Structure 1
Amino acid sequence: MSSVRVECAVKASALIGEGPVWEESGQTLLFVDIAGQKIHRWDPTTNRIQSVATGDMVGFAVPRRSGGYVAGVGRSIVAVDWSTQMMTSLAEVDEDKPNNRLNDGKVDPTGRLLAGTMAKEVRPAVVERQQGSLFSVTSGLTVTKHLDEVDISNGLDWSSDHKTFFYIDSLSLTVDAFDYDSNTGHIGNRRVVYRMEEGEGLPDGMTVDVKGNLWVACYDGGRVINIDPATGVRLQTVSLPVMKTTSCCFGGRDYTDLYVTSASVGLNQSEWKHQPLAGDTFRVTGLGVKGRPSSSFSG
């Protein structure tokens, strides 16, 4: 096996770093600081970070085919014009739940956005249960609710043939799979493909590699685990120098680097002393596997 190396790539010191997306067009890494209310874009060539303030908690940001980005800010799906730093609301979700916010979101291979909600946290990972939902947004901005009574809607991705949708509701301590119809966006036949083990923490953000295996960031577990969803077997564990690992994506020119975000919110003085890199984003190399380019929202 290749020699795996973990290094700090982005000194972001995010309160809750999340949702990394590698932008193929600009060879840049897009990620958000949820509680810091910012979208960040990092250029590895110059090591420069550009940021846009969102004015409310931001759960995700993804590229948009027509230019700019689409982000989940508060309970709004918004269009982000990076050059002007202006945001325009495209759709609202959970209008009947003002204490909710959008969390993780990702675009399916056809350009449809899927994004989930959760109640605002009392403290890290402590929420009013079953307040969240999972929605999809089409190119025509039609919003459909697929799941409700979700605790913390989190990681999501698709199999290479687009027929399986992988999904994480963090407090369930499982990684689930659904049958997926990419034409209609319909999901069904929910089943568990992996159940978290003692000490692995909460399943958070997730990505899929070209072999179809899952890479799951483990919040309060200080690791990313590699899972074969066909067998439910954990293939590999990558340990990080921080406990609150939040999400991950593949990037770099050939998609062989795994970028992992982390959080610093809620750490006490002793925990800060033992993990001074909390909130930074890490690059993992030497995994011997490639990821896939991300999809852009078609709306």
Structure 2
Amino acid sequence: MVNSNERGPGWTAARRLDGKVAVVMGAGQSQGDGVGNGRAAAMRYAREGARVLAVDRSLQSAEETAALIRAEGFDCSAQAADVTCEADLVAVMQNARQRWGSLDVLHNNVGVSLAGGDAELTEVSAEAFDNIYRINLRGTAFACKHALPLMREQRSGAIVNISSAAAVGRYPYAAYKATKAAVIALTEQLALQNAPYGIRVNCVLPGLISTPMAVDTRARTWNQTREQVLSERVAKVPLGRLGTGWDVANAALFLASEEAAFVTGISMLVDGGRMLNRL
């Protein structure tokens, strides 16, 4: 859950997504401290006026996100979906349009690494590699596949794909790095092919972010305390702190809004300058 002292930025008078319909894939989060990237994005979109469909593999987690949004007086519904199941993705996009009449923003926040059994290439199993591919790349691609016809029909829309700074920097685990790099390539292709329809497609590359999935999973996997994991990660960031889900959500909000009306096909690092140290 989101702590009372970590509720993130409030809404603004601009209401940059007023009247828009946003689907947030991966809007729930795993257990742990802080707010996840997907939950933060769903909340930021709603605070800026969007009607949000919060989608997650766990309906309970999606409902928790929706409840937080509705408690602030905004419109949000929850839906369960497995991104590896194409029929689920079809149902999500259709639900958003049938419920609210359009599909204006698709936010793809899906990804798994260590929790999915990722490892160095010589150590990773075929089953783990294939599952990470199905979630990270195919899940994102097929969500876009079924959102794009609706956006093309209305000749407008914005897609924000969440890749990772691991795609362009040092990262030891093969499947995650490869699939998140592929999300960048997919973003560029879709941006070019769908620009004539008025659809923009962009990508956010989070760096070391303090989310339950990133920090708590590593603490369990490496048998370390949460404080040890945080300390090691902070030491790598020039700005001297880890990012939060709100940092990622704010970047996504810009890309989803009309403030980025002339921005498409980019990959935006949100990493506190860490990639400046990659050489």
TM-score normalised by length of structure 1: 0.33
Between Structure 1 and Structure 2, the one with more helix by share is 2
Between Structure 1 and Structure 2, the one with more strand by share is 1
TM-score normalised by length of structure 2: 0.35
